[in-house]
Amino acid sequence: MVLAAPQTFNTALPIAEDSFVLREQLLYRHATSAQRDLDVTGAITVLGYGLTSDIALFGAIPYLDKTLDGGRRERSGQGFGDVRLFARYTAFKDNAPGRTFRIAPFFGVETPTGDDDERDRFGRLPQPLQSGSGSWDPFGGVILTYQTLAYQLDAQVAYQANTEANGFEFGDKVRLDGAFQYRLWPRELGGGLPAFLYGALEANLIHHGKNEVNGIKDDHSGGTQLFLSPGLQYVTSRWVIEGTVQLPVAQDLNGTALEDDVVTRIGFRINF
């Protein structure tokens, strides 16, 4: 049985023992600052496997096309990015008729599989336009899920410690995420396994530390952002069609760091 799940983070994806889940999301991001425009399009592929009823293994890889228009000069890079590998362990569960509550820590690493030496006619691309970071970046956190027959709540706290490569180090990232999925249709449950339409609202509070170039902090990078993300999920017994729009409601960024205007995600999910 496929269940609703957050769309702006993958660590809470539900998966049964000895089963696979495949999620494919098409992504578009637009950000601006100080006469610069950044457009990012691409896809993110996530594959998970339920090793046991409590342990799930995941891998995620993006393919992104990034274009930065600085007015006088436009630069772009594209390719497969860094693969994220992580494991989730359900450390606590409390089941009762019609509801369940789970606590699941997760740990993983972002691996340097993407190209981190892309070039154009102007020379080596700036690190944020590279497909990969070139560094091994561990991350971890915990997921809390409360689910009933009518709705589901997910909350996540996560931290990623970025390391240095090529004289560049992205700032560490801390995020606090929440997701609420409510069954809009059918309002009353009947027999069998019908399809369901869920309305969703997610919130993402993300803090990026300042980047460092050759050990010197970049005062025009990093900061804190808060997104609200309305969305829909159409859920059947085997697959899901889903979409959401991430809208920035508050951004406190350093210097001339790029501010997000919108991030959209549309895709599908299959269990097999």
Reported as a single tens digit per residue, the pLDDT across 135-153 is 999 999 999 999 998 999 9
Q: Is the pLDDT confidence value at 237 over 90?
A: no
pLDDT of residue 193: 62
pLDDT of residue 72: 85
In the structure encoding, which two tokens stand for residue 186, read together?
């059918």
Residue in 196, 255, 206 with CA at minimum distance from that of residue 227: 206
* Cβ contact 250:225 at 8 Å: yes
Mapped onto helix, strand or coil, the DSSP state of residue 268 is: strand
- Report how far residue 74's alpha carbon sits from residue 33's, in angstroms, rounded to the nearest whole number: 15
Reported as a single tens digit per residue, the pLDDT across 21-42 is 999 999 999 999 988 999 999 9
* Cβ contact 75:126 at 8 Å: yes
Give me the sign of the Cα torsion angle 259, 263, 40, 212. Answer: positive
pTM of the model: 0.94
Reported as a single tens digit per residue, the pLDDT across 52-106 is 999 999 999 999 999 999 888 999 999 999 999 999 999 999 999 989 999 999 9
Q: Give me the amino acid identity at 152.
A: Q
CA 157 from chain centre, in angstroms, equals 13
